[in-house]
Amino acid sequence: MARRVRVMVVEDSPVVQSLLRLIIGADPRLEVCAICASGEAALEALPQLRPDVISMDIRLPGMDGLETTRLIMSRFPTPIVVIADAVEDRSLQISMNALRSGALSVVEKPAGFGHADHAPIAETIRTQLYIMSQVPVIRQRPMAPRPVTRAARRPGGQRAQPSIAGIVASTGGPAALARVLGGLPADFPIPVLVVQHMGAAFMPGFAAWLDGIVPMTVQIAMAGQSPMPGHVYVAPGDQHLTIGPEGALRLDRDAPVHSQRPSGSVLFTSLARICGPRALGVLLTGMGEDGAEGLLAMRRSGAMTLTEDESSAVVYGMPAAAMRIGASTIALPLDRIADALRRAVAETTP
C-alpha cells in the first residue's frame, strides 16, 4: 500500500482543528502528522517532521499565515494549501498575498458537519491537499527560453495588429498573473481576458486583489460588456468566459472542459473564432491540459501564442501540454512575457 501523504495542519481554532483532523482522516491517502496552533510552532516543527503538504490558516496568533508562508518557502519549501474565510476582506487579501509568496492553492474553511456545504468543501480540501502534495516546490536548474517557431505571420509577412489578449493560469497562477499584468502599463492599448482556476467564492476577492497591485483596471467580467483597452476582465467562478461575434463578453454554464469551468480552452477557442490573428494567447503555470487545445486553435487562426517556460513555471503541466501539440509560438520565462506582450501590441501593420 502506498505511503500516506503527511499533512501538517496550522490552525489555532480547536473547533477547526478537530474538523480538519476528521476531514483529512476520512481520506485513506492522507494522514495528519501534526497540528500546530501558530506559525512559530509550525516553523519549529518543520525540520523534524518534513510534512508532504501544509494546511495553512491565515489569521493566526502572533505571526500570521502570510508571514509564516514566506518563511516556510524561504527555509523549508513545502507545498502549502491556504484554508481561508472566503467572505472576510482582510483574510482574502492575506490569502492572495500568500499565493503570491509561494502557497499553491486556497480553499474555504470547512463548515460544520450539519451544514449543507460541509461535504463539497471537505472533498475540495482533501483533493487539494493530495494534489498539491505532489507539486515539487524546489526549483530545478534554470533552463534557457525555448523559441518554438517564428510568430504567426499574415501572407504579406506582417503579423496582424492585436486587438485583445487572453491569459489562462491554474496552480501558481495568482503570482504569475501579478507578475505579467504588473509589467503592463495602465494604458495598455488592448483589453485582457483572464481565466484563473480558483474556487468561485474567491474570485471577487482575487480580482480586487489584482486591481490593487497592477497598473491596469481589473474587474470580474460581466455578460454584455464591451472590453475596453487598459482593462482586465477576470472570468467569474463557475462560468465560462468567451467573446461574442459582436465583440461583447459572454458568460455561460455549459459543461466543464478538462474538468474546468471556467475553461481556458473555451476562452482561447472563442478568441480564435472571433478575433483570429488579431488576438494574443498566453498560457501560464498550471496542472492538467486545460488551455492547450484552445491555444492550438488560436495559433492555427494566425494569432501569436505564448507559453510560460518550464524554468519559471510552478507547475509545467498546462504549458507542456500546449508544447506537445504545437500550440505555442514561443515559450518564455515569466519575467519576459509582459515585455513580449508590450512589443507585440507596439508593432504596426503597413
Catalytic residue numbers read 170, 197, 290
Query: Euclidean distance between the first and final Cα of the chain, in Å?
Result: 65
Apex 209 CA angle, 208 and 211, nearest 5: 65
- Per-position DSSP letters for 11-51, written without gaps between them: ---HHHHHHHHHHHHTSTTEEEEEEESSHHHHHHHHHHH--
Cell 467573446, residue?
243
Q: What are the Cα distances from residue 309, in Å, to 147, 279, 315, 326? A: 10, 20, 10, 14
- For residue 33, give every residue at least 6 positions away whose Cβ sits within 8 Å of its Cβ, in sequence order, or none: 6, 7, 8, 49, 51
Provide the 10 A C-beta neighbour count for residue 332.
21
User: How far apart (Å, rounded) are the C-alpha atoms in residues 172 and 22?
Assistant: 28
Copy the grid coordinates of residue 262.
Answer: 471556467
- C-beta of residue 44 within 8 angstroms of C-beta of residue 90: no
Apex 309 CA angle, 307 and 315, nearest 5: 95
Q: Which of 272, 282, 288 is nearest to 321 (CA)?
A: 288
